[in-house]
Amino acid sequence: MKVLIAGGAGYIGSHCVKIMSEKGYDVVVLDNLSTGHRAAVKEKLYVGDIRDRAFLDDLFAREKVDAVIHFCAKSLVGFSMKEPLDYFHNNVYGTLVLLQAMEKAGVKKIVFSSSAAVYGDHEKMPITEDYPTNPTSTYGETKLMMEKMMKWAEIAHGFKYASLRYFNVAGADPDGTIGEDHRPETHLIPIVLQAALGKREFVEVYGNDYPTPDGTCIRDYIHVVDLIDAHIRALEYLMEGGESEIFNLGSQDGYSVLEIIEAAREVTGIDIKQRIAPRRPGDPAKLVASSEKIERVLGWKPLFGIKEIIRDAWRFHKTHPNGFDS
């Protein structure tokens, strides 16, 4: 099976490329390298943008792909509030052009990254897929619009899609060759590990007055290797004739910011310093996924817990203190 991995030079996409090629899939990669890293990809890479229809038509003419896994997106909640139109142009318009090119090329199967950000704020945890979607950020709105485009493309053109709503993805491939390298970095686990490396003096804890047991925000962390396993299962499910579905992708376990810092102290053996800072606007107090549906339909279960997530991320950070420039 030949699979186009769009956004395959980014953090999650590059793990997908590596793991799928190790499993024997024929993969072709597309990335505009706006946030991705050329060094993260060993396989055939087409450098271009999904908003460029001519580029996509040419790629689909050259490579007879059976399906697409779509990771291309701007994904920072805070920036999406400052540059909303940029996010719509990149994420929504980009997906629109990709779907048009797929339709023309007769490629009708797509697995794509959605986000827990489509849900907005909810009191009751864990979140199941039938919770109302009320995004509180432009980023979440773009992901919801992408899902809706898929729905109508299915009705009109026979697309089949699997939309995976990620919770907090972290960790790295256990061999330590690829990992998370965002610039700027805003995610908690890499920031904590940068503090362990001495690249930051301390970790700022954004708020300790949330209605949670220790006052800090609770998130559901999932190892990137488990996440890719879910993509492969979703792809195989569609190729076997499965119906379009939306799945949450989380572990059903929640950890607070302070618990993550403490776990990182244990894994690294370093006394990572922390400071309480003001809340970060837009952060919900608690986000935990129900993973009952994906377990029932795809037989997926996470294999890695929080210590393994931090251990594997730490291996990459230690060997790549300057990310892919190391």
Q: Which residues bind ligand UFG (CB under 6 A)?
A: 75, 77, 115-117, 139, 168, 186-188, 191, 203-206, 217, 219, 257, 280, 283, 287
- Which of 145/191 has CB closer to ligand UFG? 191
Backbone angles phi, psi at 32, to 5 degrees: -95, 0
C-alpha distances (whole Å) from 82 to each of 85, 120, 171, 280 are 9, 18, 28, 14
CA dihedral 16, 128, 144, 71 (to 10 degrees): 0
Report in angstroms how near the CB of residue 160 gets to ligand UFG at its nearest.
25
CA dihedral 159, 224, 172, 268 (to 10 degrees): 160
- Which of 5/117 has CB closer to ligand UFG? 117
Report in angstroms how near the CB of residue 37 gets to ligand UFG at its nearest.
18
Q: Which residues contact 275 (CB under 8 A, 6 or more apart)?
A: 202, 203, 204, 205
- Which of 183/299 has CB closer to ligand UFG? 183
- Which of 240/271 has CB closer to ligand UFG? 271
- Which of 22/121 has CB closer to ligand UFG? 121
**Identified catalytic residue from 11, 25, 87, 139:** 139
Report in angstroms how near the CB of residue 35 gets to ligand UFG at its nearest.
12
Report in angstroms how near the CB of residue 224 gets to ligand UFG at its nearest.
12
SS3 category, 30:
strand
- Which of 241/275 has CB closer to ligand UFG? 275
Q: Which residue is nearest to ligand UFG (CB)?
A: 217
Report in angstroms how near the CB of residue 256 gets to ligand UFG at its nearest.
8
Annotation marks residue 166 as catalytic? no
Name the maximum alpha-carbon separation found in the chain.
57
- C-alpha 277/C-alpha 217 separation (Å) is 13
Q: Which residues contact 183 (CB under 8 A, 6 or more apart)?
A: 35, 323
Report in angstroms how near the CB of residue 218 gets to ligand UFG at its nearest.
8
- Which of 45/302 has CB closer to ligand UFG? 302
Cβ neighbours of 34 (radius 10 Å): 12
- C-alpha 97/C-alpha 91 separation (Å) is 10
Report in angstroms how near the CB of residue 192 gets to ligand UFG at its nearest.
8
Amino acid residing at 80: S
DSSP β-ladder status, 109-115 and 160-166: parallel
- C-alpha 110/C-alpha 295 separation (Å) is 20
- C-alpha 88/C-alpha 196 separation (Å) is 36
Q: How many residues does the chain have?
A: 326
* Catalytic (active-site) positions: 139
